[in-house]
């Protein structure tokens, strides 16, 4: 009984940690001072900091989270979250998170989500939203990337940051990018996905097709 209670506690802790990390990263661009909040994130998760690379007026912090407590006992497959916070001249520049499930298996699925912040765009376009893969029934189900600017639409940003924390504790892990980020991709066959959002890189034919529900 005590073992079951401990395992249940470990599952809850792992899920809460993944959910909280995703939420804090998502909320950076809604903050009145994203740079200050980013530094608060750096301080809060200092025990997860695995590297700090600084030169001149540029610094990047890398954080690492894993479900090792569960995966060590083969309760669930290993899952990992890596978060990168980059500041330039003291201002938040880029936030990137990579999320992997069932690590060490062939073609372990991985999703990357990157948001660029307008303070460092220097007048460049800051409303971009790009997906890879994108379009309908594309045969890349194990590797996906979402890259967007702070001025992307609220709908686009909500979808991009809706990473599925359940993959961190799933008993069989998550097998494709549609499970890691279901708001952006839908599995349409065992070897293909379709994007649920429009990408700036969509072809004219793809842009004319309805998005999958």
CA distance 189 to 191: 5
What confidence tens digit (pLDDT) does each residue in 30-66 have?
A: 899 999 999 999 999 999 999 999 999 999 999 999 9
* Mean pLDDT across the chain: 88
- How far apart are the C-alpha atoms of 143 and 51, rounded to whole Å? 24
Q: Which two tokens stand for residue 147?
A: 């890259």
Would you kindly state where each structural domain of the chain is located, as residue ranges?
2-208
Of the pLDDT bands very low, low, confident and very high (cuts 50, 70, 90), residue 102 is confident
pTM of this structure: 0.89
- Cβ(87)–Cβ(93) under 8 Å? yes
For the chain, percent of residues with pLDDT exceeding 90:
67
Query: 68 Cβ partners below 8 Å, 6+ apart?
Result: 78
């Amino acid at each position: 009984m005590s073992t079951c209670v401990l395992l249940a506690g470990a599952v809850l802790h792992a899920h809460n940690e993944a959910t909280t990390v995703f939420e804090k990263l998502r909320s950076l661009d809604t903050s009145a001072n994203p740079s200050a909040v980013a530094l608060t994130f750096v301080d809060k998760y200092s025990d997860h900091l695995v590297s700090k690379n600084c030169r001149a007026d540029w610094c990047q912090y890398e954080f690492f989270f894993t479900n090792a407590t569960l995966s060590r006992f083969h309760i669930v497959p290993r899952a990992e979250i890596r978060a990168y916070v980059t500041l330039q001249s003291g201002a938040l520049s880029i936030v990137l998170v990579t999320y992997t499930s069932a690590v060490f298996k062939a073609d372990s699925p991985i999703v990357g989500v990157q948001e660029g912040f307008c303070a460092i765009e220097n007048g460049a376009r800051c409303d971009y939203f790009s997906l890879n893969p994108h379009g309908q029934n594309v045969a890349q189900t194990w590797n996906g990337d979402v890259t967007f600017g702070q001025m992307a639409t609220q709908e686009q940003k909500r979808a991009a940051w809706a990473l599925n924390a359940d993959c961190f504790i799933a008993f069989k892990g998550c097998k494709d990018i549609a499970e890691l980020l279901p708001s952006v991709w839908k599995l349409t066959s065992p070897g293909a996905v379709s994007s649920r959002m429009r990408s700036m890189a969509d072809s004219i034919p793809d842009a004319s097709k309805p998005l999958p529900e």
